[in-house]
């Protein structure tokens, strides 16, 4: 154990305490089918240390699954993600077979993860000229460690198996093993395997392969967890799988892997399996997260509105009804995070209730997702059913979001055990002045003012369209917010004026240049001239000199390329800004960010992590590619959704079904080259869009009654 600072939420630190280092993730391979996920080495081995294991709904079910041949680990040569929930690992047993340079015994370990566990098929192939005799074992371990204990590097005690499972045995020791803790049971069984518990738990097979022979071994681990709060959805896939072709093949590869990853992250509440949402990320956040789930659903709207509808309904059912400082709940507020129990991080005082509401932005984002889904063609009856929840959310904006009455949406954690920062940059040190000093709460974040402005306008449109009162009030609210924002947020910087990151406790502008200001694009809060200024600043090398958009300018005092929120690059953040730039007509700036994400996607095997280093993209003897952030989740829902956002920006399809029109505005000059997609969805209809190399766009398949506006 080291002494100094303690890891806090999102990587924050509190001085003077003892801490254990959070285990790294960047070299691990994830195989996921929510709510279950396996994390292993690149060789497929699940070793009993760090964060490796088979996880199910916030618990580690297996902490070890190590394959041995005659007591030795095979030598890995590669792996591939075949589809959602399935990975193939290839290795060699070079000490077996013919004594020659070429290997003659090969193992392919096909791992499949499902809703309640994991199965493996081990295919052993011999091209040797002699008979191969081998003892194959899978060494197993279980510790039932809660995900927050694993995340904080806490001390974990392995569980002992019950011994060969009487329900899975033939009386000769062949069959299964089981572990129990509380209400959770894990059972591991192998087909034609002997279960052993002496000197550890294992499954064993004895093989004799003739020359040129093959053998297939099978085993599985099943998790029985009746207390889980999330389950696999009952529905089939909620979005389309478009056929996309692109001159830049990186886009199609990134989109293919991202859609597979998104399929693996689908979740539902245990009591409502028909309403699907996306779990935020593996392994730390594979559950409902208001902000993350909302943004991911919003980016997937070009593929249909069903995911958005499910996400909206799930969050509406848990909308706040009372004032509770401990959980952050307030009437009308949309929640932040759902767990099976209190989420306690050892050593830093973070104790989040199972249902936690410490988020300042989920509520306006919920309103805007409802509005955008309506414009993409979500059935009016489904929209109408959610309008009372929208009005409750507006009530939160009016009565609770601005406690000091200065006209800005702001937050402060009064519980002293929750998240100190409650925007998307929720680490404790993320809100910094240009000189690197930290701002003190209450904090009014820049992007949240944009979200609130957009939500007010969007809510007014919905209220008016559905004949409900309040449209004039919320349009006036947006007008007043715009005037206050322009008067108080803009600051002077080395390269001109820009919106500050936030206002602090003394209403001083927090004058760091950050990616947050890019979220204002498309909200309506900026004028055309202001949008152009923001676009140019974000496209400058200090912000976009890496593989995407840095969270903080490299010229600011708090910048560090491996800071969680002060210099790293987040794919979803870049994608949100990219989309706003593209729709506002800043094609060159949007294309630069798209190129950064595509290059990062290629470097990370087309599975974009939660975040990565903000190092420069230019030639450098130690780099030449983006560096990992060690604790980043992968796969991550809104990072995977970024691939859809890139394609959407290139195609430029923006429907307004209630108004009877569709805007077709691809990026001018087709900076990403020719792109086409078949199978987008507008009001449930399959739509095709093609953009040629010159930027000319065509669309087919629009539902009747929609007029096309090409720009």
Q: Are 593 and 577 in contact (CB under 8 A)?
A: yes
State how beta strands 685-691 and 675-682 pair. Answer: antiparallel
Query: What is the DSSP code string of 99-159?
Result: SSSS--EEEEEEEEEETTEEEEEEEEEE--SS-EEEEEEEEEEB---BHHHHHTT----PB
Query: What is the DSSP code string of 428-449?
Result: TT--B-TTSPBPPSSBEEHHHH
Instruction: Return the biggest CA–CA distance within the chain.
Output: 85
State how beta strands 214-224 and 117-126 pair. Answer: antiparallel
**Cross-strand pairs, 681:** 686
Phi-psi region of 438 (alpha: psi -120 to 50; beta: other; left: phi over 0): beta
Q: What is the pLDDT of residue 347?
A: 67
Sheet holding 675-682, edge to edge: 243-246, 675-682, 685-691, 697-700
Q: What is the pLDDT of residue 579?
A: 98
Low-confidence ranges of the chain (pLDDT < 50): 1-18, 166-173, 621-622
Q: What is the pLDDT of residue 182?
A: 84
Residues 82 and 163: their CA atoms lie apart, in Å, by: 34
- Tokens matching residue 477: 């609210």
Query: What is the DSSP code string of 595-660?
Result: HHHHHHHHHTTT---SEE----SS--TT-SSPPBPTT--SSBHHHHHHHHHHHHHHH-EEEEGGGT
pTM of the model: 0.95
Residues 53 and 186: their CA atoms lie apart, in Å, by: 13
What CA–CA distances, in Å, run from 32 to 81, 340, 636?
10, 20, 11
**List of domains in the chain:** 36-227 (2.70.98.40), 231-691 (1.50.10.10)
Crossing angle between the packed helical segments 380-399 and 446-465, to the nearest 10 degrees: 130
Three-state DSSP class for residue 488: helix
Q: Are 574 and 596 in contact (CB under 8 A)?
A: yes
Q: Other C-beta atoms within 10 Å of 362: how many?
A: 27
Q: What is the pLDDT of residue 355?
A: 97
Helix residue ranges, H only, 265-305: 290-299
Q: What is the pLDDT of residue 348?
A: 72
């Amino acid at each position: 154990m080291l002494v100094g600072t303690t890891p806090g939420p999102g990587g924050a630190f509190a001085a003077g305490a003892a801490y254990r280092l959070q285990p790294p993730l960047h070299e691990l391979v994830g195989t996921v089918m929510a709510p279950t996920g396996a994390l292993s080495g690149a060789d497929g081995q699940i070793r009993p240390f760090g964060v490796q294991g088979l996880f199910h709904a916030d618990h580690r079910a297996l902490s070890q699954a190590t394959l041995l041949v005659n007591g030795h680990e095979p030598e890995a040569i590669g792996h591939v993600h075949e589809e959602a929930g399935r990975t193939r690992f290839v290795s060699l047993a070079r000490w077996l077979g013919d004594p020659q340079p070429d290997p003659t015994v090969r193992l392919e370990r096909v791992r499949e993860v499902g809703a309640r566990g994991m199965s493996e098929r081990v295919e052993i192939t011999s091209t040797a000229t002699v008979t191969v005799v081998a003892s194959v074992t899978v060494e197993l371990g279980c510790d039932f460690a809660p995900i927050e204990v694993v995340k904080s590097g806490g001390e974990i005690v392995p569980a002992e198996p019950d011994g060969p499972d009487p329900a899975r045995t033939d009386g000769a020791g062949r069959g299964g093993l089981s572990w129990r803790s509380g209400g959770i049971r894990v059972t591991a069984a192998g087909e034609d395997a002997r279960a052993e518990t002496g000197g550890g738990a294992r499954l064993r097979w004895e093989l004799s392969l003739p020359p040129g022979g093959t053998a297939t071994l099978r085993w599985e681990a099943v998790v029985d967890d009746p207390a889980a709060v999330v389950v696999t959805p009952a529905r089939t896939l909620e979005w389309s799988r478009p056929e996309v072709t692109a001159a830049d093949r990186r886009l199609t590869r990134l989109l293919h892997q991202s859609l597979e990853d998104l399929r693996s992250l689908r979740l539902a509440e245990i009591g409502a399996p028909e309403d699907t949402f996306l779990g935020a990320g593996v392994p730390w956040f594979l559950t409902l997260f208001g902000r993350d789930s909302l943004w991911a659903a919003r980016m997937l709207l070009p593929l249909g509105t069903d995911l958005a509808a499910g996400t909206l309904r799930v969050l509406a059912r848990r909308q706040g009804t009372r004032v509770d400082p401990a959980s952050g709940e307030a009437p009308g507020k949309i929640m932040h995070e759902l767990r099976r129990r209190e989420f306690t991080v050892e050593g830093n005082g973070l104790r989040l209730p199972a249902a936690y509401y410490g988020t300042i932005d989920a509520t306006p984002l919920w309103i805007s997702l409802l509005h955008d889904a309506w414009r993409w063609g979500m059935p009016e009856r489904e929209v109408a059913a959610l309008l009372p929840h929208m009005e409750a959310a507006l009530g939160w904006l009016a009565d609770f979001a601005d406690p000091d009455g200065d006209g800005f949406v702001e937050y402060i954690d009064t519980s002293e055990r929750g998240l100190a920062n409650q925007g998307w940059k929720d680490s404790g040190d993320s809100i910094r002045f240009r000189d690197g000093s930290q701002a003190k709460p209450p904090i009014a974040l820049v992007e949240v003012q944009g979200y609130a402005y957009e939500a007010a306008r969007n809510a007014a449109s919905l209220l008016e369209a559905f004949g409900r009162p309040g449209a004039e009030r919320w349009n006036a609210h947006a007008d007043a917010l715009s005037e206050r924002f322009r008067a108080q947020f803009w600051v002077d910087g080395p390269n001109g004026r820009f919106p500050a990151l936030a206002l602090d406790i003394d209403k001083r502008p927090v004058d760091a240049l950050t990616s947050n200001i890019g979220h204002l694009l498309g909200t309506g809060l900026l004028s055309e001239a202001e949008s152009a200024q923001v676009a140019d600043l974000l496209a400058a090398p200090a912000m976009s000199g890496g593989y995407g958009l840095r969270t903080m300018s490299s010229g600011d005092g708090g910048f560090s390329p491996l800071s969680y929120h002060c210099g790293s690059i987040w794919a979803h953040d870049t994608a949100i800004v990219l989309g706003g730039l593209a729709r506002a007509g800043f094609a060159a700036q949007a294309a630069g960010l798209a190129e950064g994400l595509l290059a990062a996607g290629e470097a990370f095997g087309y599975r974009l992590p939660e975040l990565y280093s903000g190092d420069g993209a230019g030639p450098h003897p130690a780099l030449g590619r983006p560096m990992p952030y060690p604790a980043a989740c992968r796969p991550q829902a809104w990072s995977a959704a970024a691939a859809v956002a890139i394609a959407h920006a290139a195609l430029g399809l923006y429907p307004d079904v209630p108004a009877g029109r569709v805007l077709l505005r691809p990026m001018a000059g087709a900076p990403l080259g020719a792109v086409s997609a078949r199978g987008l969805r507008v009001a449930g209809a399959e739509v095709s869009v093609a953009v040629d190399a010159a930027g000319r766009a065509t669309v087919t398949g629009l539902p009747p009654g929609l007029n096309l506006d090409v720009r």
